[in-house]
């Protein structure tokens, strides 16, 4: 049997989770530094140097000085991504032939209808001109 008390196991787990939380916070701060368009190159270099040289002091200083903006920038990025996604979905769901082969498929269907006699020559020519004009 091992001589490792239960309280030590809990303390080890606590330190492990705090260590993981620290790295998540560190990566979030570094990511925010590089994603911020308003921060100049020198500002990014300075904050990165501070965070890398003195990690605890640098991260805490960044959170105190620029912490409120982190949430606002993240919210703006999320809204922009949502707006872009909605625009993409609306464009993709818009009626009308968008695919490169859509005109050829439509012309094939028209030719099949014409060959079966379902549409007249004049109707076929009008529909063909309409498909090619789009």
Tens digit of each residue's pLDDT (9 = 90 or more) over 105-130: 888 888 888 888 888 888 889 988 88
Query: 80 and 133, same structural domain?
Result: no
Q: Would the pTM of this model clear 0.75, i.e. be above it?
A: no
Res 2 pLDDT > 90: no
Report the alpha-carbon distance of residue 36 to residue 29 in Å, rounded.
11
Residue that wins the pLDDT comparison between 119 and 45 = 45
Task: List the structure tokens of 125.
Answer: 């020519």
If one counts the domains in the chain, the total is 2
For residues 13 and 63, state if they share a domain.
yes
DSSP state of 113: H
Angle formed at CA 96 by CA 93 and CA 99, multiple of 5 degrees: 80
Q: Provide the sign of the torsion angle of the four alpha carbons 22, 24, 29, 31, taken in this order.
A: positive
For range 75-103, the mean pLDDT:
80
Q: Are 98 and 87 in contact (CB under 8 A)?
A: no
Q: Residue 133's pLDDT is what?
A: 80
Examine the domain organization and report whether 56 and 89 are in the same domain. Answer: yes
82 plus 112 within the same structural domain: no
**Residues 127 and 113 placed together within one structural domain of the fold:** yes
**In the block, which residue shows the tokens 């990511």?**
31
Q: 71 with 117, same domain?
A: no
| Alpha-helix residue ranges (DSSP H) falling in the chain | 6-35, 41-53, 55-93, 102-116, 121-133
> Are 117 and 90 contained in the same domain?
no
Residue 127: give the domain boundaries.
Answer: 97-134
Q: For residues 102 and 80, what is the distance between their CA atoms, to the nearest angstrom? A: 31
Instruction: Say how far apart CA 113 and CA 3 lie, in whole Å.
Output: 85
């Amino acid at each position: 049997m091992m001589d490792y008390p239960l309280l030590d196991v809990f303390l080890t787990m606590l330190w492990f989770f705090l260590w993981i939380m620290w790295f998540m916070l560190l990566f979030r701060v570094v990511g925010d530094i590089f994603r911020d368009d308003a921060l100049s190159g020198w500002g990014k270099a300075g904050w990165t140097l501070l965070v890398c040289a003195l990690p605890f002091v640098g991260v805490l200083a960044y959170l105190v000085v620029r912490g409120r903006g982190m949430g606002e920038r993240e919210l703006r990025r999320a809204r922009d991504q949502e707006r872009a996604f909605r625009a993409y979905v609306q464009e993709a769901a818009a009626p009308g032939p968008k695919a490169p082969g859509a005109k050829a498929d439509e012309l094939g269907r028209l030719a099949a209808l014409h060959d079966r006699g379902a549409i007249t020559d004049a109707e076929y020519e009008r529909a063909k001109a309409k498909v090619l004009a789009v």
